[in-house]
Homo-oligomer: A and B are copies of this chain.
Amino acid sequence: MQTTVEKLKDEFPNALTNKELLAFIRKKLAPYGYGQTSLVATSLCCDEVNRPLEKDLKGLFGSYFSMGGLAGFPFGGVTGFGAMAHHIPDGGSCLIVYGPHVGIDSEGNVGKIDRRGRGKAGACCGSAVAACGYVKNVLEGKVNESGPPSSPLDAQQTFVGSMLLPHAERVHAAEDPMCELPYAMYDAQDEFIRQIVEKGSSHVAGEGNIALLGGIQINTPPGMSDYFLPLRFDVYNNKAEPVERLLDIPARVSLSLGLFVPSNNTIRSLSRACCFSSSLTIGHNGEDPGCIPECSHERRAHREGPDASRRLWIRQVNARRYVALLR
């Protein structure tokens, strides 16, 4: 049985302790004048194990706006973003730290956590694990896809399920779905927050910037620091135009599958290859598709093209390159 740290290094390479994360943020944002006139917003899951990271983030620029809901999705939405933007100190900028979370318990099990006062390890993130079960049932035809929720009583979980659904095959094709799940949740949340920023960015006044730091939070057993794996750290202006990409450490690629499901080994080797080489790019027929601007419009076109159902495409987050493979 692997220890928590061994498993963490294997599944979430380049994850930083909370302390390292804070130093990293300070260093990267200093050139943009972040400090007393900045506001930090978080979008982390409701789960109480996520408060320590928020407490640490409060150390950056003071009290934080909390836009997250179940599983970490920024369910405060466009109104939440707009409200946050109107709370930024005059002349200042904001930083949004977002992402799903996943526990690794003391026996090295991913998706589990040792909770205060409980004898048995429990699911973490519970909402993500529930959504994972839902999308599996949809894949297998056991339940129908839920429509939009008509009542607020459990709307968030319904939305978590529907936003995970496009990633369902990828999660369930993985060797350990619990390891793939947080990456899939991250991709779903990343897409969601981009849409929110696109609609809400103009609420940030003057020359204010919007820094987006997305990744996966990893919760560990008591006595250990939590970790955060940055998967995106970009600065945008208030027209939602990218100003700079601040992340240059290689991070694991994200995968999105159509109906074509390669073997787990294929996924694993591709992931790892992309992880450590920013030059791996394979186009539709093996050719290099070049550097495709990372915008949701083009990504969607890629996904929904005539070959979509037979295409495996891999987005290398940091190198801003797409790798598309046809069977």
A interface residues, Cβ below 8 angstroms from B: 36-37, 39, 46-49, 51-52, 58, 62-70, 73, 75-80, 83-84, 86-90, 92, 115-119, 122-123, 126-127, 130, 148-157, 159, 162-163, 192, 195-196, 199
Contact = CB atoms under 8 A, between A and B. Distances in A.
Contact of A151 (B48, B65, B148, B156): B148
A296 to B, nearest CB: 13
B65 A48 contact: yes
Contacts of A118: 87, 89-90
A47 B83 contact: yes
Copy number in the complex reads 2
A86 B115 CA distance: 10
Contacts of A75: 69, 75, 152, 155-156
A79 to B, nearest CB: 4
A244 to B, nearest CB: 24
A77 B52 CA distance: 23
- Residue in A62, A84, A148, A162 whose Cβ sees the most chain B Cβ within 10 Å: A148
Contacts of A156: 69, 75-77, 79-80
A79 B157 contact: yes
Given A69-B156, A77-B152, A89-B116, 17 more contacts: A36-B117, A46-B65, A46-B83, A46-B84, A47-B83, A47-B87, A48-B64, A48-B65, A51-B58, A66-B66, A69-B75, A69-B76, A70-B80, A77-B156, A83-B126, A87-B118, A89-B118
Contact of A192 (B76, B127, B130, B152): B152
Contacts of A78: 153-154, 157
A151 B36 CA distance: 35
A292 to B, nearest CB: 25
A155 B159 contact: yes
Contacts of A48: 39, 62-66, 87
Contact of A51 (B36, B66, B119): B66
Contacts of A192: 152-153
B77 A126 contact: no
Contacts of A152: 73, 75, 77, 155, 159, 162-163, 192
11 contacts: A47-B83, A48-B62, A48-B65, A49-B63, A69-B75, A77-B156, A83-B127, A90-B117, A148-B148, A152-B159, A152-B192
A225 to B, nearest CB: 15
A86 B157 contact: no
Given A79-B130, A80-B156, A63 B51 contact: yes
Nearest to A73: B152
A157 B84 CA distance: 14
A77 B153 contact: yes
